[in-house]
């Protein structure tokens, strides 16, 4: 196999010796080193690869460490009692050390057509199963982006580069290995990965890698909603939500993940664009930067609020006597059902998400003992934070958000004084539906 630099075809890898790169074992997970050394001692080639090597070369702290080896998954399993094999599409070994998991993958190879059971593709070219094993060089050319195909060799602490990844890393370029359109068809999620890496690293997507994204977004429709839910969390909970959100919309990928939200964002309200989602992305990045948690329930509450609110308004206006809370409840159910066709929302997140929405009306009620009871509600803090977002975007009264900010930070006497001065808000009564009369003789 060869790579092209200028007009020259190069078949040998570039090896960067230890003195010429910044990677130090001090910055590599002790558990990853244990796996590397045990594989080496057992006679297997083993390399640190992927995002861990990329981030170390950029002076960043890797989130996790992946290993590529000549050992088969079964050989890895036999070597590490604390491991298990996972995956059907890509068979991997997970070696667990407490809360840390080191992922070990066997070198991927090129199929020669004799192993149809191990390489299965759909009619559109999407890889359904890929367990063809090969050499280090073949593995490098099978990876997605050049900057993710750099290998740290535990034998001599060098970095091995078959695809020009070091050049792209220094230039800040994100480049697909091989033909971009074919690679996207093999796995459409690579388009989302391109956006995530570009946003995370501040890299420019190479023109040839970028061009097919505008045309192939529809391929995401064939990816399972559960996988796209996982990818959504990676996209927005990595500390670069604002840049990621802007790039997803630029490449028309956001509408594939959140079609109802994209439709709502294309409209204006009182001649002003809707900004709640953008502000939620800013808030998410700020919280992650200071080590505060952001739950998927809150993230999805922000992403799906605009279409839910608009749908509730339409329902309330269309059916006489329907209260806002009833309309919101019905709209919430419909929004979640529709969204589940694009990205799944596990019940452990959809339930608190809907509670955050429902609490917005309860926060408007500031008389009696309701506010004191709301302070004890398990969803109060998330609901209050959501109210702040709504106020910042002009969708909720700023005075209401300010009142709750003061109320929770003051003493008991002052709270009672605020309750006396608070405006009385009428509670929404649930409309009773007339009972149907049973015809004579009908069974109970």
The residues assigned a catalytic role are 64, 66, 144
Counting DSSP H helices and E strands in the chain, the numbers are: 21, 16
CA 251 to chain CA centroid, Å, is 17
The helix/strand/coil state of 412 is: helix
Q: Between β-strands 14-16 and 159-161, what pairing exists: parallel, antiparallel or unpaired?
A: antiparallel
369/352 Cα distance (integer angstroms): 23
222/124 Cα distance (integer angstroms): 10
143/163 Cα distance (integer angstroms): 10
Q: 366 pairs with which residues across the strands?
A: none
* Other residues' Cβ atoms within 10 Å of the Cβ of residue 300: 26
Residue closest to 13 by CA, chosen among 180, 168, 159? 159
Residue closest to 387 by CA, chosen among 356, 418, 347? 356
288/317 Cα distance (integer angstroms): 39
Using CB atoms within 10 Å of the CB of residue 90, give its burial: 0 to 12 exposed, 13 to 18 middle, 19+ buried: middle
Helical H runs in 23-121? Answer: 30-41, 51-57, 73-79
Write b or e for each residue in 306-342: b if 16 or more Cβ atoms lie within 10 A of its Cβ, otherwise e: bbbbbbbeebbeeeeeeeebbbbbbbbebbbeebeeb
237/396 Cα distance (integer angstroms): 25
The alpha-carbon radius of gyration of the chain (Å, integer) is 27
433/118 Cα distance (integer angstroms): 59
């Amino acid at each position: 196999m060869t790579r092209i630099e200028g007009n020259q075809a190069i078949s040998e890898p570039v090896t960067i010796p230890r003195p010429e790169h910044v990677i130090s074992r001090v910055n590599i997970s002790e558990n990853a080193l244990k796996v590397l050394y045990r594989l080496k001692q057992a006679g297997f080639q083993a390399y640190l690869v992927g995002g861990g090597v990329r981030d170390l070369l950029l002076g960043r702290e890797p989130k996790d460490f992946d290993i590529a080896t000549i050992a088969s998954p079964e050989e890895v399993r036999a070597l590490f009692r604390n491991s298990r094999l996972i995956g059907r599409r890509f068979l991997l070994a997970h070696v667990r050390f407490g809360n840390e998991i080191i992922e070990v993958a066997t070198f991927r190879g090129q199929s020669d057509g004799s192993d149809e059971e191990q390489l299965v593709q759909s009619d559109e070219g999407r890889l359904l199963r890929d367990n063809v094993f090969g050499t280090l060089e073949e593995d490098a050319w099978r990876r997605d982006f050049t900057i993710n195909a750099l290998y740290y060799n535990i034998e001599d602490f060098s970095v091995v580069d078959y695809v020009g990844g070091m050049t792209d890393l220094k230039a800040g370029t994100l480049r697909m290995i091989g033909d971009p359109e074919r690679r996207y068809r093999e796995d459409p999620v690579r388009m989302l990965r391109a956006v995530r890496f570009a946003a995370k690293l501040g890299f420019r997507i190479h023109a040839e890698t970028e061009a097919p994204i505008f045309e192939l977004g529809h391929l995401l429709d064939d990816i399972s909603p559960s996988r796209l839910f996982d990818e959504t969390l990676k996209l927005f909970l990595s500390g670069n939500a604002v840049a990621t959100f802007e790039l997803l919309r630029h490449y028309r990928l956001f509408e594939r993940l959140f079609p109802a939200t994209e439709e709502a964002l294309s409209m204006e309200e009182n001649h002003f664009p809707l900004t709640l989602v953008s502000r939620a992305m800013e808030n998410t990045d700020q919280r992650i930067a200071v080590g505060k948690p952001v739950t998927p329930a809150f993230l999805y509450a922000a992403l799906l609020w605009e279409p839910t609110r608009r749908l509730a308004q339409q329902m309330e206006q269309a059916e006489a006597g329907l209260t806002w809370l009833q309309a919101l409840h019905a709209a919430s159910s419909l929004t979640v059902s529709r969204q589940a066709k694009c990205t799944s929302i596990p019940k452990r997140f959809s339930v608190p998400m809907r509670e955050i929405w429902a609490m917005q009306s309860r926060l408007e009620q500031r008389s009696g003992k309701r506010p004191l009871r709301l302070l004890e509600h398990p969803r109060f803090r998330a609901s209050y934070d959501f109210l702040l977002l709504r106020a910042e975007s002009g969708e909720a009264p700023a005075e209401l958000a300010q009142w709750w900010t003061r109320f929770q930070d003051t003493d008991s006497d002052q709270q009672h004084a605020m309750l006396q001065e608070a405006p009385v808000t009428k509670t929404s009564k649930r409309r009773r539906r007339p009972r149907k009369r049973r015809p004579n003789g009908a069974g109970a």
